[in-house]
Every structure is written in C-alpha cells, then in structure tokens.
Amino acid sequence: MTFRTLDDAPSLAGKTALVRVDFNVPMEGGKVTEDTRLRVAIPTIEKLRDAGARVALLAHFDRPKGQRVPSMSLRPVVDDLEMLLGAPVRFAEDCVGDEAKAVLADLDAGGVVLLENVRFHPGEEKNDPAFAKQLAELGDLYVNDAFSAAHRAHASTEGLARLLPAYAGESMRRELDALDAALGNPQKPVLGIVGGAKVSTKLDLLKNLVGKLDRLAIGGGMANTFLFAQGVDIGGSLAEKDMADTAREILAEAKARGCEILLPLDLVIATEVKPGAAARTVAAGEALSADDKILDAGPASVARLTEAVDASKTLIWNGPLGVFEVPPFDAATVAVARHVAARTKAGALTAVGGGGDTVAALHHAGVADDMTFVSTAGGAFLEWMEGKPLPGVEALSV
C-alpha cells in the first residue's frame, strides 16, 4: 500500500499540523514511569518544527469513556516531553473549541502544544463527524504517528484523516515499512514463529499466516493443542482440547497452501511451574503422567528451528516458545531469539517481531535492539498479522 509521508507535504512553514501520537504511557502517581512512546514521537515533532510548522499533539490516555476524568489528564506528560524535546510544550485544557483555539493562536511557528485527552469527548471513540470537524478546524494538515491506535476507527485516528490533507509521521512510516518488509512484500522464503498461551486468541492470525508463509513454527502452550490434536500425549499441560478440530483444520489449510508447519519435536516437562523446577526433556509422543506439564520446546526443536531460520530471508515472530518468565523454561525462546539476532546482524535476515509478550521475551533474551524491527503496538500489530485492514492506516493510503 502507498501512503503520503511528511516528505510529500507541500510547504509546512507557518502551517498548523495536528499530530496524532500515542502517549498512553505507563504512569504512577501522576509521573511517567516509562517513556518509550514519548521518545518515538520526537522525530516527527522535530521534523515539523524544523520546517516551521506549529505542532498540536492529539492523544488519548486510558479509558475515560467520553467524560472529563481529572486522573486521566495528559498534563503530567508535558514535563517529560519538554525534556525529551529540549523545548517548551504548551498544554491546552481541551482538545477542541475556544480553549484549544486560543492556545494555538498564541503559538509561534515551531511551537508545540499538547491538547488534552481526546477521549474526554464521547465523539472520539464514536468517530462522530461533528467532533472530527471540530478537531479539523484547529489545523491545516493531519499527521498520524500512532500506529498502535490505527486499528481503531476513532475521530482522531480515522475521521480527521478524511477532512484534512493526511500524512504518515516518521514513526508510523517506519512501522509500516517494517511490516511491509515482513509480510506485505517480503523476501522469500518467509518463516513465522507463533507461540504464546492459547490457540483461541490467535485463530485469525494463524489462518492468515498459513496463506502467506513458507514455514510456520508453532510453539508455547498453543503447540500443546496442536500436538494433542495429532494424538500426542500432553499429560496435564495447558491446552484447549475443544480446539482440536480447529487445530486440525489449520494444519490441513497449511498443507493445501504449501506452508510447512513445524511443531515441537521434543518437549521440556516439569510438574511445577517455578524457577529452577526439576525439568526433563522427552520426545514428542512419549507417554506422560497426568501431572506432567509441557513448559518449553527441547534442544532438537531448537536445532530444527534455527536451521529453518538459516534457510529463510524473512522472519515474523509473535509469542514465546515456552514459559519464558520462569527459567529454565525460557531456554528455547532465548536460544532461538539469539540466533535470529545474529542472523539479522549479519545481514542475512529481516526479522520483525511484536505483539504482547513478544517484546518482553525479546528483551529477556537481550536482543530486542538487534531485530530489524520490534513493534510495541500490541493490538494493532496483531490485527495487522491477522490480515485485517487498519482503519487509521487505510485513511492515509493514496
């Protein structure tokens, strides 16, 4: 898909850009505790300031459900943003109307204002055209830099893009380029790794991937369901036995679409999930007792998966291969992640990961910075992996 970026925008000098960012940061006692989401917005803000534009930042925080909830104000973000930007940031108590207009009228070229939580207005989540129009009145152009909010058709993520010239911000552009390189227009062969707890939460994702990938490795708790569906003894492992038919359908679909499925060959089992628990490795198919739990993939599975990585040019990864939070059941996830990182650093692989626990697992393995791209977009990343159109991205396409 093609979309406009800021490089396509005609002269920005003196214009007011309404920039949708994701400032839904972790906060405790009115202080930002983790500022990644603020940092990723900086390149777009700087680019606009350098071009002489006024920057009005639109964001949501938490779930005020259309009410003004003081504890969900974006005001505490201002100090952190000023520090990161090295420039003053004004704050407007409302994101539309006279208050917002007055602050903007007072802003010099290159100035930045953060507008109060868009979700204080019910029209935001309803994508109310009248509310989108009120937002549009504030600026000359719209920039969306919040991929993580792009799966929602809200006024500030979708409606507004229909009313003003709309562009992808720098962070949005980076994310879309990475996703395109991983699944849109990847270099083949393409390998997927999907792990995590349950099949039921990743059905759409699995169905979409088997139609697109050359190989798909299934790991984690969801692999148990697939093994069970094939008659493998899984003892007392986490599994969704009622999903066995669905698992078999996915395997059949993969076969029909020419996608090779890699299930664990050997399993690390223990009777308790606690750090340092006594674990043993068995071949898939061996008899287990009712209190045995499969908690990780074994070394033979890791060896075959790293070979699959070596045979691939592109990797898309979502979900850990075992209970990575509890060593030693992190071993397969860590070993494969490190191998992926080494191949990526060597220039042999494009590796993109994301969604929920994947980011934490890659950090745990110490390789999050060595991947081609790690998406922190959560729900939006998963919906994109499911092949669903993202309204906020669609609205930017030309």
CA 358 to centroid of chain Cα atoms: 9
Q: Which stretch binds ligand AMP (CB under 6 A): 242-250, 302-310, 318-326, 368-376?
A: 318-326
Nearest-angstrom CA–CA distance, 281 and 332: 12
Q: Which stretch binds ligand AMP (CB under 6 A): 15-23, 150-158, 304-312, 320-328?
A: 320-328
- For ligand AMP, the binding residue among 139, 320, 328, 353 (CB under 6 A) is 320
**Least separation, in Å, of the C-beta of 183 and ligand AMP?**
18
**Least separation, in Å, of the C-beta of 198 and ligand AMP?**
6
69 versus 265: smaller Cβ distance to ligand AMP: 265
Using rule CB under 6 A, residue 236 touches ligand AMP:
no
Report 250-309 residues binding ligand AMP (CB under 6 A).
294-295
- For ligand AMP, the binding residue among 123, 159, 169, 319 (CB under 6 A) is 319
Mark residues 166-205: x for contact with ligand AMP by CB under 6 A, - for none: -----------------------------xxxx--x----
Nearest-angstrom CA–CA distance, 160 and 255: 43
Mark residues 353-392: x for contact with ligand AMP by CB under 6 A, - for none: ---xx-----------------------------------
Q: Count Cβ atoms below 10 Å from residue 168 Cβ, excluding itself.
A: 26
**Number of residues this chain uses to bind ligand AMP (CB under 6 A):** 17
Report 116-175 residues binding ligand AMP (CB under 6 A).
none
178 versus 331: smaller Cβ distance to ligand AMP: 331
| Paired tokens of 335 | 């070993």
Mark residues 209-228: x for contact with ligand AMP by CB under 6 A, - for none: -----------xx-------
Nearest-angstrom CA–CA distance, 130 and 315: 43
Q: Count Cβ atoms below 10 Å from residue 101 Cβ, excluding itself.
A: 15
Q: Which stretch binds ligand AMP (CB under 6 A): 14-22, 173-181, 317-325, 365-373?
A: 317-325
- C-alpha distances in angstroms, 105 versus 98, 113, 143, 345, 389? 10, 11, 20, 48, 37
- For ligand AMP, the binding residue among 322, 353, 354, 392 (CB under 6 A) is 322
Using rule CB under 6 A, residue 247 touches ligand AMP:
no
Residues marked active site are found at: 37, 198, 356, 379
Nearest-angstrom CA–CA distance, 381 and 177: 13
- C-alpha distances in angstroms, 390 versus 2, 55, 63, 155, 396? 14, 25, 20, 14, 10
**CA end-to-end distance (rounded Å), the chain:** 8
Are 135 and 156 in contact, with CB atoms under 8 Å apart?
Answer: yes
- DSSP assignment of 181-244 equals IIIISPPSSEEEEE-SS-SGGGHHHHHHHHTT-SEEEE-HHHHHHHHHHTT---TT----GGGH
111 versus 322: smaller Cβ distance to ligand AMP: 322
Q: Which stretch binds ligand AMP (CB under 6 A): 13-21, 205-213, 304-312, 314-322?
A: 314-322
Nearest-angstrom CA–CA distance, 58 and 161: 13
Kindly report the backbone phi and psi dihedral angles of residue 318, in degrees, each rounded to the nearest multiple of 5, phi listed first. -140, 120
**Least separation, in Å, of the C-beta of 328 and ligand AMP?**
13
Beta bridge partners of 310: none
Contacts of residue 86, defined as CB under 8 A and 6 or more positions apart, other chains included, come to none
234 versus 309: smaller Cβ distance to ligand AMP: 234
Give the interface with ligand AMP as residue ranges (CB under 6 A). 195-198, 201, 220-221, 238, 294-295, 319-320, 322-323, 325, 356-357
